Amino acid sequence: MTQASTLAGLSNLLTYSAMLVLTLAMIAFFVSFAQRRTAPRAVAAAPTAPALVGAPPGPAPTPPEQPPTGAEPGRRAGNIAMALSWLAFALLAGAVITRGLWAGRVPWGNMYEFSLVSAFAVLGVFLAISLSRDIRWMGAFLIPVVLLTLGLAVTVLYTEAAQLVPALRSYWLLIHVSAAVICGGGFTFAAVTALLYLTRDSYDRDTRAGRALAPVARRLPAADRLDTMTYRTIMFTFPLWTFAIVAGAIWAEAAWGRYWGWDPKETWSFIAWIVYAGYLHARSTVGWRGRRAAWLAVAGVAVFWFNYFGVNLLFSGLHSYSGM
């Protein structure tokens, strides 16, 4: 058995091992989320009428309800899930590194490799944020996304490593694609928090959808917190996405002699940029918050991932070499 085949087998073994560990982590996250305390619907405070001069004082305001004391339910299962997630992250790192050693290049030269690295990035964003915030509740929703990405990669997109076409043999491959991968992790995280915001907000407004999703929605954090998490994540990721597009344009000039040619991949990258720029502009100038902003965040990630999967599979262009 050659060294190359050994590295290939090791990369695949680490990928499948990570998927097994992530499956266990997902189950533990489900248990932890199911055991979380439920929160009542957020009710807007009624306006207070001004007191009349000489009128007798009204009843004393009811003090706010204190949060329950003691250990948070589901914490033990959540801690187990987080430990398993870190283990899976290490296994995926090993899978990516050994894939690169086998190929003799950076491991994102085709759709399988980009999917593998994207799953690694989404999980990495989740774990990085968990270092400063308690977001174990989010694992029940984000880990399935990582597992689905890996499942698609190993069952549909898998291909043997091959040498890159001349246009890809550049240091810009490392700069441009690594920035795009990180953006994929950030935008996916923001889309999940936006969808959870919509779920919680529907529950707070007592809509039909909110009542149907009540078992999940009442265990989520407050809608304002979810909205803020979405906004801050996109605020961090959008400049990096801008850099990725600019780096791609510079690379295109070096490879093809023009900065921009409205290739399908370039066009949809720009559409994604427009959607996220519109999100930030609407938030800062028009005051779009809540549901309209959340739907923009979801639309942005839909365009982003269509740019990856749909454009590669449905259109032909200068980026067609990045297909299966």
Can you give the pLDDT at residue 230? 94
Report d(CA 224, CA 218) in Å as an integer. 14
Confidence of residue 162 (pLDDT cuts 50, 70, 90): low
- The yes-or-no verdict on residue 273 having pLDDT over 50 is yes
**Could you tell me the sign of the dihedral formed by the alpha carbons of 200, 133, 152, 276, in that order?**
positive
Nearest to 312 by CA among 300, 322, 302: 322
Can you give the pLDDT at residue 252? 82
Identity of the highest mean pLDDT range in 37-41, 59-63, 179-183: 179-183
Q: What is the mean pLDDT of residues 99-124?
A: 88
Higher-confidence residue of 284 and 124: namely 124
Contact status, residue 220 vs residue 137, Cβ threshold 8 Å: yes
Contact status, residue 263 vs residue 228, Cβ threshold 8 Å: no
Confidence of residue 146 (pLDDT cuts 50, 70, 90): very high
Report d(CA 87, CA 90) in Å as an integer. 5
Cα→Cα distances 56→47, 59, 62, 119, 264, Å: 19, 10, 18, 64, 72
Nearest to 272 by CA among 183, 150, 178: 183
Least confident piece of the model among 61-75, 98-112, 145-159, 236-250: 61-75
